[in-house]
Amino acid sequence: MDGRYSRQELFKPIGKEGQKNLCQSVVTIVGCGALGSAIAETMTRAGVGEIHLVDRDYVELSNLQRQQLFTEKDAEEMKPKVEAAKIRLTAIRSDMRLTTYLQHLDGALMEKLAQSSDLILDATDNFETRLVINDAAAKYDIPWIYGACVGSSGVIFPFVPGNSACFRCLMPVLPSLNETCDTAGIIPSAVQVTAALQCTEALKWLSGNKAAMRSKMHHFNLWDNTVHDLGISRIKNANCETCGSRPIYPALQSGSGGTIAVLCGREAVQFLPNPNRKFGMADALEVGEKLKAQVRSTPYFVEMKVYGKRAVVFADGRILIHGMRNKTEGQKFFHQLFG
């Protein structure tokens, strides 16, 4: 391997055999924001053989404070995060097999990725997507590594099917309303520590050191200098729809996610394409012309500024409407534009 991973191989728990395992492994990373970009770079540099990277968003100026793969030019061009990440990651390592997905993660895509992956790394910002990851991981018996951070704190846990309670088991004890980066802010170091801890668990699993993985949920606060490790085995629900005796994996079922969602921390409403109503970038351009809107077209999306709001229509028919946090208002605006 031309000495590229020599320092990692000198670390005895990994060694040459562990490095060989890493180079043959397949990892899916869900999200390419703060955590996702840090995780993707670390996994790339560590020698993971194949990476699948999923994200539905594009780069904005406010991302640059903590999302390490992106530049001012990416923000100016509103480049999709997965496309900007691909340029950076392949420049770091040209032999890596990297597949990117500029789309919303639904059950069908997650099942497809789970069946071909050795591990899933969570870099999302909402419970709903994590439930999709959780159900697919349980159904196909592969681990996923949960991670979240806000302010100066973070939390991580490796969910290994059969070893502990699953994420759905935790839902009754998790807060229904969480702080976000928009409400509480975040410091870059909290991102880096969370991502580093997630990546370390990934290295343990992929290199064959499964016994070294954490058995308790780890929470830290860098500003308060506090650390807590919490056991979750007793929370396991025997009747859980994901990991119980009769699982049905509800998050993977068709239609479970709905077509409208308020995006966490984004002040935006997302519309997923309706299979019975095909809608694309050409349609958005036509509507923009009729409304005499300010329109910007790229190979990936059409941006339209009209009625004091900003709508972005992606090539897959997905639509983001910025400047609102209410589904009803979002739906009204959608119909105002597109009928």
Answer whether residue 1 is part of any domain: no
Among 197, 229, 252, residue at a domain's last position: 252
Answer whether residue 123 is part of any domain: yes
Verify that 330 and 294 share a domain, yes or no.
Answer: yes
Predicted confidence band of residue 114 (pLDDT cuts 50, 70, 90): very high
- Identify the residue with better confidence: 35 or 103: 35
The whole-angstrom separation of Cα 101 and Cα 239 is 34
- pLDDT number for residue 307: 84
- pLDDT number for residue 182: 61
Taking each helix axis from N to C terminus, what angle separates 107-115 and 127-139, rounded to the nearest 10 degrees? Answer: 40
**Residue 99 three-state SS:** strand
Q: What percent of the chain has pLDDT over 70?
A: 92
For the entire predicted model, the pTM comes to 0.85
Q: Which residues of 105-122 are buried (b: 16+ CB within 10 A; e: fewer)?
A: bbbebbbebbeebbbbbb
pLDDT, mean of residues 105-115: 95
Q: Hey, what are 121's tokens?
A: 């790394």
For 9-66, what is each residue's pLDDT tens digit? Answer: 999 999 999 999 999 999 999 999 999 999 999 999 999 999 999 998 899 999 999 9
For 294-308, what is each residue's pLDDT tens digit? Answer: 999 998 889 989 888
The total number of structural domains in the chain stands at: 2
Predicted confidence band of residue 2 (pLDDT cuts 50, 70, 90): confident
Q: Hey, what are 215's tokens?
A: 């058995």
Question: For 27-41, 185-199, 268-282, which range has the lowest pLDDT when averaged over its residues?
Answer: 268-282
Among 252, 272, 303, residue at a domain's last position: 252
Considering 181-185, 235-239, 320-324, the range whose residues carry the highest mean pLDDT is 235-239
- pLDDT number for residue 268: 83
pLDDT, mean of residues 251-278: 70
- Identify the residue with better confidence: 226 or 313: 226
Answer whether residue 209 is part of any domain: yes
Predicted confidence band of residue 339 (pLDDT cuts 50, 70, 90): low
Question: If you average pLDDT over every residue of the chain, what do you get?
Answer: 89
- pLDDT number for residue 176: 47
Verify that 223 and 313 share a domain, yes or no.
Answer: no
Can you give the CATH number for the domain in which 323 is found?
3.30.310
Q: Is the pLDDT of residue 215 over 90?
A: yes
Question: For 213-217, 224-228, 317-321, which range has the lowest pLDDT when averaged over its residues?
Answer: 317-321
Verify that 135 and 72 share a domain, yes or no.
Answer: yes
Predicted confidence band of residue 177 (pLDDT cuts 50, 70, 90): very low
Can you give the CATH number for the domain in which 245 is found?
3.40.50.720
Verify that 25 and 171 share a domain, yes or no.
Answer: yes
- pLDDT number for residue 241: 94
- pLDDT number for residue 327: 75
Predicted confidence band of residue 254 (pLDDT cuts 50, 70, 90): low
Verify that 245 and 266 share a domain, yes or no.
Answer: no
- Boundaries of domain holding 27: 6-252
At residue 21, what are phi and psi to the nearest 5 degrees? -60, -40
Among 205, 235, 252, residue at a domain's last position: 252
- Torsion sign over Cα 99, 113, 75, 123: negative
- pLDDT number for residue 308: 84
